[in-house]
Structure 1
Amino acid sequence: MRIKKWIAVCALVSCVSAHAKQVAIVIDDIGYQRNDMSALNIPGQLTFSILPFTPYAKRFAAQASAQNKEIMLHAPMQALDGKTLGPGALTMDMQKDDFQTMLRDALDSLPNIKGVNNHMGSLLTQQNTPMNWTMEVLKEHDLYFLDSKTTPKSKAQTIASLYGVDNVARHVFLDNITTEKQMRFRFDQLKRIAQRYDYAVAIAHPYPETFAFLQNSLAELEQEGIQLVPLSELVQARTLRLAQANSPTLNGE
């Protein structure tokens, strides 16, 4: 069995190395507004991160699944500035059982979840204990974690790796400023990162300006030899590259 497993891993690594550069674009903050539904009209394999227990969360998740679009849980986590988090919030004052029950309930509220990323979380992702609790649940559910990197001091990726949870971090916020000029600057930055490192991850938001920009710009990726893929595919490819880099067997030694 072990030999067969290594053969399968080697085949996957060879497949990954032959693929084009990859980009994943995650649309965060889905669920509060009716207009969020129009994100499903954007062509290509965008990934959508849904806030739990929000008015349009279940409806969006169902329609996205029907279109074979990847969805994630956008888990609200406590921020340094104390902003209101909304339903499903994970905070520093919670005990382990309450924390993990809240996270499991949020995951169970949406169908076909592939991964989780943090909504806000500049305080919580710096803390060992709540990140341990988070990764225990993600490991149970076989989910990946995207660190939204709302703080440079985040420990989320390190702890995810300790728990064997596949993970990746955001490289670019596409639309912190929603002018055409600024989104163009960030989109070009995203492409440069992908060309240099073989992959890149952007986070965007359900703004009309963002939707219009993506409608007009996503075709550039294929034209420049970059694949737009669901985040799970990019995470798997990254994990396999790391396995190849770190394994004497996969390196032929």
Structure 2
Amino acid sequence: MPHAYAAQLALIIDDIGYRRTDAAVLSLPQNVTLSILPYTPFGDQLAHKAHAKGHEIMLHLPMQALNGNALGMGGLTNLMDEAEIKSQVDKALERIPFAKGVNNHMGSLLTQLQLPMHWVMQRLKQHELYFVDSVTTHFSQAGKQARREGVPLLERGIFLDNDLTPKVLEKQFRQAIAQAKTQGSLVVIAHPHPETVLFLKENLRRLAAQGVTLVPTSALLGQGTQRLAKAQLKSNQSTSR
């Protein structure tokens, strides 16, 4: 029986757009938020289909990583000036219709840099979008710059599927439930792997029984979730992505 006062959990599936099989995420409950990469073969199509099914849409914006992994088209780097950064943000948003917010794809290098992140947040404020820091580095400046510009901010609490083995998926899922109940709300990020989608289809129904409500990401805005950053970071599994 659902609890009267449920904690809230936002689940973002990102890295969407490169594979035809990413469409499997459309089988998930509509309160699952979908964050889509720009300039991808299936990104625009999936954004339209997901929006029609009631999913909240985000732009998954590529940003430079410490490991030097290729960003793909539209990625932001530390070699870009203000005009280039802002132009890239605008063009990426044009590629993903219905986006209500943005989270960083990789970005363990760029999110550490105050000036580029300041420029990004200036643009997001102009577009009236929120930002979710994927927290791919503990040294991220994204939150500071979002607060400076008045951009609504959330931070990722848990990566669900860095390891796709069933045992670890279950461990992360249980941790997400516990953390959401302790903190009152939590942002979880996962990816469109077949193993992840299957796990979520079979297990998301457990949330209500545990007193946790699955909500669109924007539902957490204004609840002071950003003040939980220190508590979240204790259990973060940050990767230099």
Question: How does the TM-score come out when normalised to structure 1?
Answer: 0.86
2:209 paired residue among 223, 245, 249:
223
How far, CA to CA, are the matches of 1:33 and 1:214 in structure 2?
19
Does the alignment pair 1:87 with 2:73? yes
Residue 117 of structure 2 is matched in structure 1 by: 131
- Check the 8 A contact 1:116/1:146 in 2, yes or no: yes
Residue 66 of structure 1 is matched in structure 2 by: 52
What is the Cα deviation at residue 42 of structure 1? 1.4
Deviations along 1:121-143, one digit per CA (max 9) or x if unpaired, are: 00000000000000000100111
How far, CA to CA, are the matches of 1:193 and 1:49 in structure 2?
22
Residue 185 of structure 1 is matched in structure 2 by: 171
What are the residue-to-residue correspondences of 1:101-180 with 2, within 5 Å?
101-180=87-166
Structure 2 unaligned spans of 5+: 229-241
2:223 paired residue among 217, 237, 245:
237
SS in 1 for 2:202: helix
Equivalenced residue count is 225
SS in 1 for 2:136: coil
What is the Cα deviation at residue 238 of structure 1? 3.3
1:50 paired residue among 17, 36, 39:
36
2:182 paired residue among 196, 199, 216:
196
What is the Cα deviation at residue 72 of structure 1? 0.4
Q: In proportion to residue count, which structure has more helix?
A: 1
1:77 paired residue among 53, 60, 63:
63
Aligned-pair Cα RMSD in Å: 1.6
Q: 1:240 to 1:128 in 2, by over 3 A?
A: closer
Structure 2 residue identity aligned to 1:57: G
How far, CA to CA, are the matches of 1:125 and 1:231 in structure 2?
21
Range 67-76 or range 231-240, more displaced: 231-240
SS in 1 for 2:224: helix
Structure 1 residue identity aligned to 2:29: P
- Check the 8 A contact 1:172/1:190 in 2, yes or no: yes
What is the Cα deviation at residue 95 of structure 1? 1.3
- Check the 8 A contact 2:153/2:226 in 1, yes or no: no
Runs of 4+ aligned structure 1 residues displaced above 6 Å come to: 239-242
Does the alignment pair 1:99 with 2:85? yes
How far, CA to CA, are the matches of 1:115 and 1:145 in structure 2?
6
How far, CA to CA, are the matches of 1:138 and 1:240 in structure 2?
17
How far, CA to CA, are the matches of 1:37 and 1:159 in structure 2?
34
Structure 1 unaligned spans of 5+: 1-17, 243-253
What is the Cα deviation at residue 44 of structure 1? 4.3
Question: How does the TM-score come out when normalised to structure 2?
Answer: 0.90
What is the Cα deviation at residue 108 of structure 1? 1.6
SS in 1 for 2:103: strand
- Check the 8 A contact 1:139/1:165 in 2, yes or no: yes
SS in 2 for 1:210: helix
What is the Cα deviation at residue 19 of structure 1? 5.3
- Check the 8 A contact 1:166/1:239 in 2, yes or no: no
Larger radius of gyration: 1
How far, CA to CA, are the matches of 2:225 and 2:175 in structure 1?
23
